[in-house]
């Protein structure tokens, strides 16, 4: 390095209970650059940046900022050092005005800021300089998400920044708003500020960055100049795993059509179009994969298929029966099993026992219930059987599932969903957050299910997972299926390009 780094992170470690969020991260940020942090959900990007801005304290390691070792105990201390962060979830009070939000926590109990005119003037000036269109007297709750984000960015400018950290800022924006944000980042750098841009969207990162660091599993895998890389290489770095998994598998023997999806559209919970006309078919005895960088509509697709998100248009047919927009209880009863992406949100009830979690859907059906009462003996027996068959490490069937490791929790979800004898299994992130052993086990179980004639749709951001068990791989980008590939490792580059949204054949120059 020719110049001294503006910010150096040295071997930072952070654990939350059993979860390692940062596993010895080292990173250097130069003054006046746009430095992107790229990585999958859970790779440790947000936690790392929260440590820089004083929200979270590292367990080990050092942060050197402007040549000095710093250790912030609160965001306030970081703000005083001119470090600002815009979080994924905005930190604004909805029923206060923009100006009121800015002076929150300023001053003290004894010294009240009383010159609001000055505050308003300063906000107007900054807003004009960066074309942010922020009115100081606007109520936060009246603003759109995009506007609120500009309010957040202006807040950091208001307090004065040299370093601005943006955590997944484009996740909530429309393409036009995204363009505007990227332009703003360029303007800020022109004024001598430094920007750290956290994202998992390859194209945006390629468009705006000077340098890019790729994070995976709580570590920085690599830092590259944007000129020296391309979307293909980045995709590889993001999803690549060192362990190549080779599972013994028979050739697929697809039978009759089980699930057909025609032109499905739906919106995300924030109301933005998320799935835009997806069509796909899954036959009995095959595993169809959906690859894609996360945030391209996969979450919404799986929620819409399982009845947890309203469908705007299109049709979902399971075993010849139209299940479009039905409620989950009817979809569940049609031979549909769902291994959800967010285990803790949808998959299990953390405070309940393994037994109770085993009968989450069948709590009122025989043999687990009779005349409205639970048959606890049957439930216990069934759970013990699953624990044994899936080698779930637990004390007994009455243990709280929250006390189990993530891998064992996932095994129980898989066990439960398979035990319901489904015709179709929707899997979103089969092996997220679980160890290699458990991963291989659940994958082998999926192959067994396939061979016994079940139709499986596996949505995953882990290419290894898809290559290991899928018979066909579809690529999803911006809510659409861009193409289909065989699970052939030699065509990884093609897959990476599709994942970056490039459908045309690549020129072989780069």
Partner 1 sequence: MEQVNQGVRENVYPQAAQALYRTLSQVAISAVTPLAAVIVALACGAALLWLNGFNGSDVVTVMIFGSFQDMRSVGEILLKATPLILIGAGLCVAFRCKIWNIGAEGQLYVGAIAATFVGTSIDGLSVWVHAPLVMLAGAIAGAAWAGIAGYLKVRFQASEIVTTIMLNYIAIILTSYLVTGPMKDASAAYPQSARLVREAWTPRIVSDMRLHVGILVAVVLAVALYIFLQRSSRGFALRVVGQNPHAARYAGMNVGRNIMIAICISGAMAGLAGAFEVAGVTHRLYQNISPGYGFEGIAVALLAGNNPLAAILSGGLFATLRSGSEVLQITSQVPQVLVLVIQGIVILSVVAFAKLRDIIRIVA
Closer residue to partner 1 (CB): 395 or 489 = 395
- Strand locations in 217-357 (E): 219-225, 257-267, 273-283, 287-291, 313-318, 321-322, 336-339
What's the rounded Cα separation, in Å, for the pair 404 and 409? 6
Altogether, the residues listed in the chain come to a count of 510
Query: Using CB under 8 A as the criterion, what x/- string covers residues 360-399 for binding partner 1?
Result: xx-xx----x--xxx-x------------------xx---
Which class for 27: exposed (0-12), middle (13-18), buried (19 or more C-beta within 10 A)? buried
Give the shortest CB-357-to-partner 1 separation in angstroms.
Answer: 9
Give the shortest CB-374-to-partner 1 separation in angstroms.
Answer: 6
Closer residue to partner 1 (CB): 30 or 361 = 361
Give the shortest CB-332-to-partner 1 separation in angstroms.
Answer: 5
Query: Using CB under 8 A as the criterion, what x/- string covers residues 205-244 for binding partner 1?
Result: ----------------------------------------
Size of the site for partner 1 (CB under 8 A): 33
What's the rounded Cα separation, in Å, for the pair 177 and 169? 10
Q: Is 247 in the site for partner 1 (CB under 8 A)?
A: no
Largest CA distance in the chain: 77
Q: Is 345 in the site for partner 1 (CB under 8 A)?
A: yes
Give the shortest CB-355-to-partner 1 separation in angstroms.
Answer: 11
Would you state the structure tokens that stand for residue 83, as one six-digit string? 């470090």
* Chosen residue from 332, 353, 409, 461 binding partner 1 by CB under 8 A: 332
CA atoms within 13 A on the CB side of 357: 31
Pinpoint the alpha helices (H) of 217-274.
231-239
Closer residue to partner 1 (CB): 102 or 336 = 336
Radius of gyration of the chain, Cα coordinates, nearest whole angstrom: 25
* Chosen residue from 110, 243, 248, 329 binding partner 1 by CB under 8 A: 329
Query: Using CB under 8 A as the criterion, what x/- string covers residues 256-275 for binding partner 1?
Result: --------------------
Closer residue to partner 1 (CB): 82 or 362 = 362
Give the shortest CB-356-to-partner 1 separation in angstroms.
Answer: 7
Q: Is 15 in the site for partner 1 (CB under 8 A)?
A: no
Closer residue to partner 1 (CB): 12 or 359 = 359
Give the H or E element holding residue 381: helix 376-389
Closer residue to partner 1 (CB): 226 or 350 = 350
CB proximity list for 117: less than 8 A, separation 6 or greater: none
Closer residue to partner 1 (CB): 267 or 343 = 343
Give the shortest CB-270-to-partner 1 separation in angstroms.
Answer: 17
CB proximity list for 43: less than 8 A, separation 6 or greater: 215, 216, 217, 218
Closer residue to partner 1 (CB): 304 or 468 = 304
Give the shortest CB-331-to-partner 1 separation in angstroms.
Answer: 8
Burial code (b: 16+ CB inside 10 Å, e: under 16) for 315-332 equals ebbbbeeebbbbeeeebb
What's the rounded Cα separation, in Å, for the pair 317 and 325? 11
Phi, psi of 409, deg, nearest 5: -60, -45
Residue 104: which of 85, 121, 91, 86 has the closest Cα?
A: 91
Give the shortest CB-155-to-partner 1 separation in angstroms.
Answer: 30
Closer residue to partner 1 (CB): 116 or 374 = 374
Which chain residues interact with partner 1 by CB under 8 A? 306, 308, 327-333, 338, 340, 345-352, 356, 359-361, 363-364, 369, 372-374, 376, 395-396, 403
């Amino acid at each position: 390095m020719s110049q001294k780094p503006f910010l150096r992170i040295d071997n930072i470690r952070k654990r939350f209970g059993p979860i390692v969020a940062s596993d010895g991260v080292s990173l250097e940020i130069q003054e006046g650059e746009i430095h992107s942090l790229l990585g999958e959900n859970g790779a440790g990007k947000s936690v790392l940046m929260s440590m820089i801005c004083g929200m979270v304290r590292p367990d080990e390691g050092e942060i050197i900022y402007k040549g000095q070792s710093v250790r912030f105990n609160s965001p306030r201390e970081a703000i005083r050092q001119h470090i600002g962060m815009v979080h994924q979830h905005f930190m604004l009070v909805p029923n206060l005005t923009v100006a009121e939000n800015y002076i929150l926590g300023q001053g003290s109990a004894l010294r009240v800021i009383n010159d609001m005119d000055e505050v308003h003037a300063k906000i107007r000036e900054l807003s004009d300089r960066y074309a942010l269109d922020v009115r100081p007297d606007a109520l936060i709750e009246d603003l759109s998400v995009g506007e609120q984000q500009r309010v957040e960015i202006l807040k950091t400018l208001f307090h004065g920044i040299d370093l601005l950290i943006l955590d997944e800022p484009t996740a909530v924006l429309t393409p036009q708003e995204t363009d505007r944000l990227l332009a703003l980042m360029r303007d800020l750098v022109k004024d001598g500020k430094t920007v750290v841009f956290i994202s998992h969207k390859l194209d945006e990162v390629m468009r705006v960055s000077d340098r890019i660091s790729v994070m995976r599993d709580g570590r920085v895998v690599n830092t590259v100049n944007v000129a020296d890389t391309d979307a293909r290489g980045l995709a590889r770095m993001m999803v690549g795993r060192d362990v190549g998994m080779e599972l013994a598998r028979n050739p697929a023997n697809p039978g009759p059509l089980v699930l057909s999806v025609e032109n499905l559209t739906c919106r995300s919970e924030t109301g933005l179009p998320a799935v835009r006309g997806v069509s796909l078919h899954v036959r009995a005895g095959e595993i169809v994969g959906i690859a894609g960088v996360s945030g391209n509509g996969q979450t919404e697709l799986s929620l819409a298929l399982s009845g947890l998100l309203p469908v705007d248009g299109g049709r979902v047919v399971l075993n010849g029966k139209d299940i479009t927009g039905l409620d989950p209880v009817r979809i569940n009863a049609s031979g549909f099993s769902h291994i959800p992406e967010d285990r803790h949100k949808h998959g299990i009830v953390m405070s309940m026992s393994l037994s109770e979690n085993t009968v989450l859907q069948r709590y009122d059906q025989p043999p687990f219930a009779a005349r409205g009462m639970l048959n606890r003996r049957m439930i216990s027996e069934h759970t013990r059987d699953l624990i044994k068959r899936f080698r779930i490490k637990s004390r007994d069937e009455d243990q709280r599932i929250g006390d189990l490791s993530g891998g064992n929790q996932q095994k129980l979800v898989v066990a439960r969903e398979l035990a319901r004898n489904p015709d179709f299994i929707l899997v979103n992130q089969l092996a997220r957050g679980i160890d290699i052993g458990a991963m291989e086990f659940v994958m082998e179980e999926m192959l067994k299910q396939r061979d016994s004639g079940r139709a499986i749709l596996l949505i995953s951001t882990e290419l290894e997972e898809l290559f290991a068990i899928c018979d066909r791989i579809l690529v999803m980008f911006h809510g659409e299926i861009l193409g289909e590939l065989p699970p052939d490792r030699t065509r990884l580059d093609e897959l990476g390009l599709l994942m970056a949204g490039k459908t045309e054949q690549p020129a072989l120059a780069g």
